[in-house]
Structure 1
């Protein structure tokens, strides 16, 4: 409480979208809203409203918070003044369709993913590093990759590469696990599937490079992303699966995007879908495929070493 004003009630009564929508056009993006940031000169949608319409974050200027923080930043006022402006009907407010908060099971998967990540250890000297080195990757491995022994099924634990997925607000929103053998090979699992995601990963990215730059390469896997970093010497973010490429949120400073596609029908289909989405945001986008008939960029990297 501040004086006679109930701050929690204000946050409940005024969803972020209702206030932001009064000053700029919002676009629905799954369970989020996107917009050009009204706080700074924004050319593409870098402003995201998430967490059940209770939080916002701008990739362009780095600001974020709740509805009161938005009013404070936009109008350069303090907390009490922002509360008075909201409750005194001194701001344009619009009714927006309700976006439900993540369900309790969904929040539980995010919590579980973060707990696994925090309990994982450094990747150096583990089967996870051995797996990547065995695929011809020699660059320094980023801190978003770790190692753990994780349960698979009821009775056994397997070595796993654990990749952190960061959400639009820069916070952990999930992980991808790649199950391995003790000698750094892919685990022999039913149906051959070794990659499993956990958490709320849509919109997120495995940030193999530490920060957004004006030009960026996107990839559909950790292995291809690291290979592209080695081949091209540029920043790469990886989606936790090719089908997730088009859902990735990119910061406003990223004006040029290169999408590294697998050289098969599915890879090209997902890459074209992502290309069209990012181009619609006003970015320069092109799709590249591996050279010399390689099926993916990791195969190209390995063949370069022969």
Structure 2
């Protein structure tokens, strides 16, 4: 098939809209002049509507779709890309051309196949595909959530994004749900994404979703972390994302890393440039154990280790309860004097 423009591909797909839907949105069903499904990623449900007939282009065109729950909308090229987890338009266009070359006289009998095989559940590749489906943090429900936790300075947080309809599956079995989720990219020291962390949110961003657990990680996590800033000779490392973002409010120029749990904090990788490590302690037995283990590893590697301790459970608790100025004062007396002028933000 000749190389067609995106608009021409969308028009041709629109002529075969029902076949496209049966093929890529197999969890839906036809309802009158529409195909109804949960969302563009082929989740079972009834929130998304695809127009099966209509004009070739513009408003009311065949193949146009709208998700009533999320407000998302688009055309059948989006359906192909999102349902298969394709990131590059060249791959989406190639898949569309491949589909259009198939016979579609009996679309309901066609098996759904793809040259893009599913990634193993919980794998690094699954984490990378999830990351490719996310959207920017700023202006999203994830920003609303973080601001509700007292975290207002979101500069340098490109590794945090939002997925508007992220799957949540109960660990003991049961129906799958979809919730908005803040997605954090877990990377190694070279910046390669090895995993992802999901924090499911309430639909208005006012807090974490009322699911148990509201947080899950996937991929290769051991030794890796959610990183903020490029590692220099000094950095801070702690457990939770909100804890680290709270500390960054007082030390915005210091590179930091969230290891996501006490066990992973104790095993975090050291950059060869690192000379001083601030260990951001959570105030519980697991936090104490992680601190002790990390101190021993740092000393063994010739790295100075300094513990930063919160007044309450963690530094986000401190920020929410006492405010930024109190947090700055608390941190100032715990860090090395030369790091105060180097990394600490001046009061506004």
TM-score range, shorter chain: 0.5 to 0.7
Count of residues in Structure 1 that have an aligned counterpart in Structure 2: 198
- 1:128 corresponding residue in structure 2: 142
1:297 aligns with 2:312: no
> Alpha carbon RMSD of aligned pairs, Å?
2.0
**Alpha-carbon distance in structure 2 between the residues aligned to 1:194 and 1:243:** 19
- 2:239 corresponding residue in structure 1: 220
1:230 aligns with 2:245: no
Map 1:3-14; keep pairs closer than 5 Å. none
- CA change 1:260–1:158 in 2 (3 A) is same
- 1:171 corresponding residue in structure 2: 192
1:186 aligns with 2:208: yes
- CA change 1:218–1:157 in 2 (3 A) is same
Q: 2:272 aligns with which of 228, 247, 252?
A: 252
- 1:151 corresponding residue in structure 2: 167
- CA change 1:299–1:235 in 2 (3 A) is same
**Alpha-carbon distance in structure 2 between the residues aligned to 1:251 and 1:283:** 10
- CA change 1:159–1:169 in 2 (3 A) is same
**Alpha-carbon distance in structure 2 between the residues aligned to 1:107 and 1:247:** 24
- CA change 1:105–1:157 in 2 (3 A) is closer
* SS class of match (1:247): coil
**Alpha-carbon distance in structure 1 between the residues aligned to 2:200 and 2:208:** 6
**Alpha-carbon distance in structure 2 between the residues aligned to 1:108 and 1:178:** 15
**Alpha-carbon distance in structure 2 between the residues aligned to 1:126 and 1:240:** 22
- Per-residue CA deviations over 1:195-252 (Å, capped at 9, x if unaligned) read 111111111110122x111111111011001111112332211112222012111211
- 1:137 corresponding residue in structure 2: 151
Are 2:182 and 2:199, in contact at CA under 8 Å, matched by a contact in 1?
Answer: yes
**Alpha-carbon distance in structure 1 between the residues aligned to 2:188 and 2:234:** 19
Are 1:113 and 1:174, in contact at CA under 8 Å, matched by a contact in 2?
Answer: yes
**Alpha-carbon distance in structure 1 between the residues aligned to 2:217 and 2:263:** 13
**Alpha-carbon distance in structure 1 between the residues aligned to 2:121 and 2:189:** 16
**Aligned-residue offset at 1:107:** 9.3
- 1:281 corresponding residue in structure 2: 301
**Aligned-residue offset at 1:106:** 6.9
Return the TM-score normalized by structure 1.
Answer: 0.61
**Aligned-residue offset at 1:168:** 3.6
Are 2:127 and 2:219, in contact at CA under 8 Å, matched by a contact in 1?
Answer: yes
1:197 aligns with 2:239: no
Could you list the structure 1 runs, at least 4 aligned residues long, displaced by more than 4 angstroms after superposition. 104-108
- 1:92 corresponding residue in structure 2: none
- CA change 1:107–1:194 in 2 (3 A) is closer
Gaps in structure 2 of 5+ consecutive residues: 1-117, 170-174, 325-348
Are 1:212 and 1:251, in contact at CA under 8 Å, matched by a contact in 2?
Answer: yes
**Aligned-residue offset at 1:283:** 0.3
Map 1:57-76; keep pairs closer than 5 Å. none
* SS class of match (1:299): helix
Gaps in structure 1 of 5+ consecutive residues: 1-103
**Aligned-residue offset at 1:108:** 7.0
Higher RCO (C-alpha 8 Å, min separation 6): 1
Are 1:219 and 1:245, in contact at CA under 8 Å, matched by a contact in 2?
Answer: yes
- Per-residue CA deviations over 1:248-279 (Å, capped at 9, x if unaligned) read 11211111000010112221111111111122
* SS class of match (1:262): coil
**Alpha-carbon distance in structure 2 between the residues aligned to 1:266 and 1:112:** 29
